[in-house]
């Protein structure tokens, strides 16, 4: 057997380079790049290997470990999980910073390969710099904190262990049922140790995502339930996009007369004006889709994990409604006593369509959905229309940006008030033009995720919609975008604090406290941040806009700019799009001396009475 003698770090990098995939008919690297911040735990060995392969496996310098891992996730989202980015840090705080990003990947079923330095396998120099010592268990390091938020975890204490560990990690990340982050802790001494590697380990391999077909009996049971339904509703999740099943779903809906609602992750699976589109569903959804969900006698959930923002804490559906769940993951397909169809969304929809024969849903049901959707759109028209107000609402800002954006532009957001306003108001003129990270609702994803999405597809503009709170939490990848030439358009909606949480606080009868800047403990005069000037300090174009007219002009300028532009616009902190009929269960004090809290708990009990529990 022919062997190659190199260090473990060199072998790892060479193996990464050898992995290939197909993207839009082209053979491309499965691992297109590495985000790295080097420290003593990965600079002396892993960086040596990455530098030697920098033309085949580009390394991008991060500014913050969490940010660079979030950028990696934004990248893989943009390419529908067809490529996987790598993020590497030193040990200690650098590794711990990536735990939050790993939680984002785990919750959203997104692959990322995380490589962190670790303690010395020999333990000879222990405790090393940044090593967290767990009394009574010397095998534990900060890296053990990744275990709850990754799908695959290993610590490499011998070079030859990667012969088994790397293929297993990759299989986990490529499996649509177990997809998520994979983590390898690389002991510092082991990174530099040499081994005689089988040459076959480095031979190129082309990977294509598997498309597991559903069990025939599950499919037949699902088809029987659908044929018996009088008011069926499809709920399309992010799994539709990752399976590349948008066209198949659209065709099935048209052929069978099925109304389709979209989850947050499933937004822009259908075009805004598709004849079967009845709007976004759930707490951040439309009154049209929510009304349909409340009357549906069968819900066909495709590629969604049915989180509480989709189901309105399981109060949205009729108590007698049946659920059919198409999902690659058995765990998601069997929730709430659903009839599972475990398999790839694209092939499952094709086979379900074939099993339905000449069945078609009653025409009046889809007509009802269209009528309700028209009413919702008229309401959104009023919410998003032009205004002369000096301080516009979120909805008015979104409407202006939506009108000026190109059809293929990507609208991207994550946490705070923008997810709800964007989900309700953004109108898709092309599929896969919306990214709202709301599985983990991670403040700080916006700018970093936008950087990754732009790297994945430089041919379109990425419009990052971010609140002032998230911006302050993580903004350093503005500098990354300038440094690397990946232009972003960042719209900072400044509402003076954490306004959406202030809204929730007040809704529970609690006075505004520690969320808005004006309500937090401080010394002296309130100082507001000039986000445009801050962005200029990082090399971006900074623009202040007051009102919709100035915002529109600023957006046109940003479109024409040769580098990242940050638009700072003040928005109303208390003007929200409401009235979709959804309820959300959130902790509410059962006993309080505040009358407003007592009233909130009474509303809470009313909502609880609507929940499906155990059915």
Give 76-135 pLDDT, tens digit per residue. 999 999 999 999 999 999 999 999 999 999 999 999 999 999 999 999 999 999 999 999
DSSP 164-191: HHHHHHHHHHH-TTT-SEEEEEEEHHHH
The per-residue pLDDT for range 121-174, each reduced to its tens digit, is: 999 999 999 999 999 999 999 999 999 999 999 999 999 999 999 999 999 999
Q: Is the pLDDT of residue 354 over 80?
A: yes
Which residues of 457-499 form beta strands (DSSP E)? Answer: 462-467, 489-494
CATH topology for 3-207?
Rossmann fold (3.40.50)
pLDDT value for 40: 96
Taking alpha carbons only, the member of 270, 345, 251, 352 closest to residue 302 is 345
Among 278, 340, 282, 280, which Cα is nearest to 311's?
Answer: 282
Q: How far apart are CA 275 and CA 258, in angstroms?
A: 10
> Residue 614: what pLDDT?
65
Kindly state the average pLDDT of the residues 44-71.
Answer: 98
* Interval 277-299 mean pLDDT: 98
CATH of the domain spanning 216-371, picked from 3.40.50.1220, 1.10.20.10, 2.30.30.60, 3.40.50.410? 3.40.50.1220
What's the pLDDT score for residue 151? 98
276-285: string of b/e by CB count within 10 Å (b at 16+)? bbbbbbbbbb
Q: Specify the pLDDT at position 245.
A: 98
Tell me the average pLDDT across 409-426. 97
The pLDDT confidence band at residue 615, using thresholds 50, 70 and 90, is: low
> Domain spans of the chain?
3-207, 216-371, 385-570
DSSP 78-130: HTTTSS--EEEE-STHHHHHTHHHHHHHHHTT--EEEEEEE--TT-TTPSPTT
Q: In the prediction, which pLDDT does 572 show?
A: 97
Phi-psi region of 180 (alpha: psi -120 to 50; beta: other; left: phi over 0): left
Q: What is the pLDDT of residue 1?
A: 87
Architecture of the domain made up of 385-570 = 3-Layer(aba) Sandwich (3.40)
Assigned token pair, 74 = 């934004």
| C-alpha 355, offset from chain centre | 33
Token digits of residue 23: 């993207």
Note the pLDDT of residue 443.
96
Q: What percent of the chain has pLDDT over 90?
A: 98
pLDDT band, very low/low/confident/very high, at 424 (cuts 50, 70, 90)? very high
Does position 273 have pLDDT exceeding 90, yes or no?
Answer: yes
* Per-residue confidence (pLDDT) for residue 297, from 0 to 100: 98
- Give the per-residue pLDDT at 612: 86
Dist CA 282 CA 503 (whole Å): 18
Q: How sure is the predictor about 221, in pLDDT bands with cuts at 50, 70 and 90?
A: very high
Radius of gyration, CA atoms only, the chain: 25
Task: Count Cβ atoms within 10 A of the Cβ of residue 306 and give its class: 0-12 exposed, 13-18 middle, 19 or more buried.
Answer: buried
Asked if residues 23 and 210 have their Cβ atoms less than 8 Å apart, the reply is no
pLDDT digits (tens, 9 = 90+) for 468-487: 999 999 999 999 999 999 99
Indicate the average pLDDT of the chain: 97
Domains 3-207 and 385-570 share a fold: yes
Residue 254 has pLDDT above 90, yes or no: yes
The yes-or-no verdict on residue 248 having pLDDT over 70 is: yes
Residue 3 has pLDDT above 70, yes or no: yes
Arithmetic mean of pLDDT, 16-32: 96
Q: Backbone phi, then psi, for 570, in 5-degree steps?
A: -80, 140
Half-sphere exposure of 389 (CA within 13 A, CB side): 16
Position 613 scores a pLDDT of 79
């Amino acid at each position: 057997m022919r062997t190659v003698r190199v260090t473990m770090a060199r072998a790892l990098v060479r193996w990464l380079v050898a992995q290939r995939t197909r993207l839009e008919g082209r053979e491309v690297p499965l691992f297109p790049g590495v985000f790295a911040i080097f420290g003593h735990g990965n600079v002396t060995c892993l960086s040596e290997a990455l530098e030697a392969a920098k033309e085949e496996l580009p390394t991008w310098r991060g500014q913050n470990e969490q940010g660079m891992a979030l950028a990696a996730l934004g990248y893989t989202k943009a390419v529908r999980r067809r490529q996987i980015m790598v993020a590497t840090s030193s040990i200690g705080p650098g590794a711990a910073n990536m735990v939050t990003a790993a939680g984002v990947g785990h919750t959203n079923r997104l692959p990322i390969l995380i490589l962190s330095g670790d303690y010395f396998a020999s333990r000879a120099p222990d405790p090393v710099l940044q090593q967290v010592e767990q009394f009574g268990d010397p095998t534990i390091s900060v890296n053990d904190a990744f275990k709850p938020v990754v799908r695959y975890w290993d610590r490499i204490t011998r070079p030859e262990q990667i012969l088994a560990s790397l293929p297993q990690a990759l299989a986990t990340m490529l499996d649509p049922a177990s997809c998520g982050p994979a983590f390898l802790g690389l002991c510092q001494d082991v990174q530099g140790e040499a081994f005689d590697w089988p040459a076959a380990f480095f031979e190129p391999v082309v990977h294509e995502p598997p498309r597991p077909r559903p069990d025939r009996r599950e499919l037949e049971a699902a088809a029987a339930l659908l044929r018996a339904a009088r008011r069926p509703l499809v709920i399309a999740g992010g799994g539709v996009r990752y399976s590349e099943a948008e066209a198949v779903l659209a065709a099935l809906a048209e052929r069978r007369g099925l109304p389709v609602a979209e989850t947050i992750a499933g937004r822009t699976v259908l075009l805004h004006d598709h004849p079967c589109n009845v709007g976004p569903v759930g707490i951040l959804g439309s009154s049209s889709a929510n009304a349909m969900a409340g009357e549906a006698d069968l819900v066909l959930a495709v590629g969604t994990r049915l989180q509480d923002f989709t189901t309105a804490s399981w109060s949205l559906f009729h108590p007698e409604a049946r659920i059919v769940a198409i999902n690659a993951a058995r765990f998601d397909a069997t929730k709430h006593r659903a009839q599972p169809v475990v398999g790839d969304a694209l092939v499952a929809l094709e086979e379900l369509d074939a099993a339905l024969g000449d069945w078609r849903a009653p025409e009046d049901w889809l007509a009802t959905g269209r009528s309700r959707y028209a009413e919702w759109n008229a309401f959104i028209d009023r919410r998003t229309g032009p205004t002369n107000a000096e301080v516009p609402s979120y909805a008015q800002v979104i409407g202006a940006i939506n009108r000026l954006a190109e059809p293929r532009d990507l609208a991207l957001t994550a946490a705070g008030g923008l997810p709800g306003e964007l989900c309700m108001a953004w109108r898709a003129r092309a599929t896969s033009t919306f990214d709202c990270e709301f599985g983990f609702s991670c403040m700080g994803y916006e700018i970093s995720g936008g950087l990754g999405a732009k790297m994945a597809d430089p041919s379109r503009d990425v419009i990052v919609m971010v609140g002032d709170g998230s911006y302050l939490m993580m903004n350093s990848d503005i500098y990354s975008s300038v440094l690397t030439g990946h232009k972003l358009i960042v719209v900072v909606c400044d509402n003076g604090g954490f306004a959406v949480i202030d809204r929730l606080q007040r809704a529970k009868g609690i006075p505004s406290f520690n969320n808005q800047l004006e309500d937090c403990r401080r010394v002296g005069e309130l100082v507001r941040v000039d986000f445009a000037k801050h962005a200029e300090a990082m090399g971006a174009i900074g623009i202040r806009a007051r009102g919709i007219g100035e915002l529109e002009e600023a957006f046109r300028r940003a479109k024409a700019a040769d580098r990242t532009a940050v638009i700072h616009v003040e928005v109303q902190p208390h003007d929200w799009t409401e009235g979709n009929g959804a309820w959300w269960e959130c902790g509410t004090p059962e006993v309080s001396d505040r009358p407003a809290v007592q009233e909130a708990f009474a509303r809470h009990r009313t909502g609880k009475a609507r929940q499906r529990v155990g059915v």
